[in-house]
Amino acid sequence: ILNVEQSPQSLHVQEGDSTNFTCSFPSSNFYALHWYRWETAKSPEALFVMTLNGDEKKKGRISATLNTKEGYSYLYIKGSQPEDSATYLCAQGESGGYQKVTFGTGTKLQVIP
Amino acid sequence: EAQVTQNPRYLITVTGKKLTVTCSQNMNHEYMSWYRQDPGLGLRQIYYSMNVEVTDKGDVPEGYKVSRKEKRNFPLILESPSPNQTSLYFCASRPSGSYYEQYFGPGTRLTVT
C-alpha cells in the first residue's frame, strides 16, 4: 500500500491570508498527482492533475506545483476566502496495469472571516 | 448531466442483514471504484473495476462484494454487515488511466447497529 501523506492535518487562517499545504508521495510507480477539494456534505471535486516534474497549475487563487524527484506537491491559496474552507485531498496515480490511485488523509482548511 | 448516482444516501441497519448500495454512472467510464471514508483515515479503496466483468480488491475489501455486469453499474454488497462497517461510502468513476480525474457520487452514510 502506497503511503501518501499530507500536512498539516488541519489549519485555521484569517480571511485574506495566503496559505499552503504539502502532499508527499513515494516516487516509485508515479504516474500522476491529483488534488481534490472536498466541501463538507458534498463529494470531492477535482482541482488539478499533474504528471511532469516541475509542473505548475493554477485556477483562480489556487495553484499547485509538483516535484516528482523528491516526491512532493504543494497547494497554494492566495488571499484565502471563507468559501475556500474545505478539505483538500491529494492522490497519487500509479503507472502499470492496475491504474491504482491512493489518497492522502487530507488537509482541512478553515478560513475565519 | 454527467453524474454518478448512489442509493440509498442514508441507511441504518442491523448486524447481519444483507444490504446493497447501488452506484450508476452515465459517462461511459471504464473504471469504477468504491471507497470508504473514516475520520483520520481518509479515503480507502474497497474494490475497483477496470471494465465489465473485471473487478479486483482494493486496500480494505474484507466484508464486501461487488459485481460489474454492466458498464454503468457497480453495486457494493455487504453480505453480513457489522458495526465496524459503519462509515461514509463513495462510489467514483473515471476513464481508463490513473491520469484522469475521478467523479464521485454523493456518498452513502451507513450505520450498522
Per-residue model confidence as pLDDT tens digits over A56-95: 999 999 999 999 999 999 999 999 999 999 999 999 988 7
Distance, CA of A25 to CA of A102 (rounded, Å): 10
Residue A104 vs residue A98, higher pLDDT: A104
CA distance B89 to chain A (A): 11
Cross-chain residue pair A49–B100, CB shorter than 8 Å: yes
- Searching chain B, which residue's CA lies closest to the CA of residue A36? B101
pLDDT tens-digit series, residues B43-95: 999 999 999 999 999 999 999 999 999 999 999 999 999 999 999 999 999 99
pLDDT surpasses 70 at B111 = yes
CA distance A80 to chain B (A): 24
How buried is residue B76: exposed, middle or buried, by Cβ count under 10 Å (0-12/13-18/19+)?
buried
pLDDT at B96 (0 to 100): 86
Peptide bond into B95 cis (omega under 30): no
If you search the block for the grid coordinates 506545483, which residue do you land on? A65
Cross-chain residue pair B98–A32, CB shorter than 8 Å: yes
- Searching chain A, which residue's CA lies closest to the CA of residue B37? A105
Name the interface residues of A facing B (CB cutoff 8 Å).
1, 31-32, 34, 36, 42-46, 49, 51, 89, 93-95, 98-106
